Structure 1
């Protein structure tokens, strides 16, 4: 079976296959999706599909990786690195919460957990292509904010992990235990803002009170 590190063969219909697979996986999940379904959705033959991706699991890993890379790229591309760190973290927090609560984000997590024992590379690929990239970018942001005197952090990698966990508070538990599947903008904003407030309370530099 292909390892998660193997690169798929690229070709003229590669993106067409990837988008078709994304739609079907999102609708039917990993177990409920067949190669025939993906080929129909992508408007390609099974032979064409197999020329790019040797099996369904390998194809799912690439779909998941593509979606996670989009999230990481969004975080990197859409932040004003010279803005106050609270504003930067607020932007990142809402993007993270929106991804966690999105249909695809929920499916990726459930599939990676469900298939984790049999196919550990699924979970590794998910982590390396999404959460780890965002974590690494947070460390860079923290370092710059420390230089500007906005944050005081000794263990920046731990702080990045803590920020990620704060962005999962409450909503993620409800998703995992199937207590709630849909979330309002107000609920997402509450978690994102709470994450930033808590993080800044711990690591933000306190300004002296005016006399």
Structure 2
């Protein structure tokens, strides 16, 4: 009997993926160091040491390259959120765990640098803001909304628009500590992240009547 075993990628496919990851690594550094407008496909190609045509074969435009950098940077975090936002257990503890994870993520150095990049250049490059929103805030908000919809259906939090509730929580997480770090007047130590996460979770839980079954 034949067994269905996935075919291992060949050397050509492995080299192609390694090249793609190398491009994304160089592009990420360039975007964060030089900004969107200060990054060029030619400069990235020169740093990689290949032809410009090779780069364009992977990514036909700077917009697509920026989108790919964001996708690569956020895919692991979305997987992490999937494990955090479990429908079973104490909803308050889950809420606190999300806040801890999310605030920790957005106050990391790369998260702050990316936020500054978007804020500085989205006015001149509207496509930049849309690319960022579609690949970072929107998926996170939708995952939260799906979790809240389940909690509302189970009677663990008051009925409301789940997506609107998700946006409220995201806004709370983006205030406080994140703003202070963004402005360069605060530091996201583990203790500060924990304090902020519990504060935000408590405010949101009281606003939406979230059931608290135990210690968070």
> TM-score range with shorter-chain normalisation?
0.7 to 0.9
Relative distance call for 1:202 and 1:62 in structure 2 (3 A) is same
RMSD: 2.5
CA positional deviation for 1:116? 1.0
Confirm whether residue 201 of structure 1 aligns to residue 206 of structure 2.
Answer: yes
* C-alpha separation in 2, matches of 1:88 and 1:193: 11
Higher-RCO chain (CA-CA 8 Å, sequence separation at least 6): 2
Query: What is residue 98 of structure 1 aligned with on the other side?
Result: 104
Quote the offset at 1:22 in angstroms. 2.1
Aligned length: 196
Work out the CA distance in 1 between the residues paired with 2:52 and 2:110. 24
Compared CA separation, residues 51 and 97, structure 1 to 2 (3 A): same
Structure-2 change in CA distance of 1:195 and 1:205 (3 Å): closer
Structure 1, unpaired ranges of 5+? 1-10
The one of 67, 77, 80 aligned to 1:71: 77
Residue among 29, 51, 60 paired with 2:66: 60
Alpha-carbon spacing, 1:76–1:179, altered in 2? closer, same or farther (3 Å): same
Query: Which ranges of 4 or more aligned residues in structure 1 deviate by more than 6 Å?
Result: none
- Alpha-carbon distance in 1 for matches of 2:78, 2:119: 21
Change (3 A) 1:185 1:84: same
Does the 8 Å contact 2:181/2:188 carry over to 1? no
Report the Cα distance in structure 1 between the residues aligned to 2:28 and 2:211, rounded to whole angstroms: 46
Correspondence 1:114 to 2:120 = yes
Give, in whole Å, the separation in 2 of the partners of 1:42 and 1:170: 40
Contact 1:94 1:188 in 2 (8 A): yes
Rg bigger for which structure? 2
Contact 1:24 1:41 survives alignment (8 Å)? no
Contact preservation (8 Å) 1:115, 1:122: yes
| Pair 1:146 & 2:147 matched | no
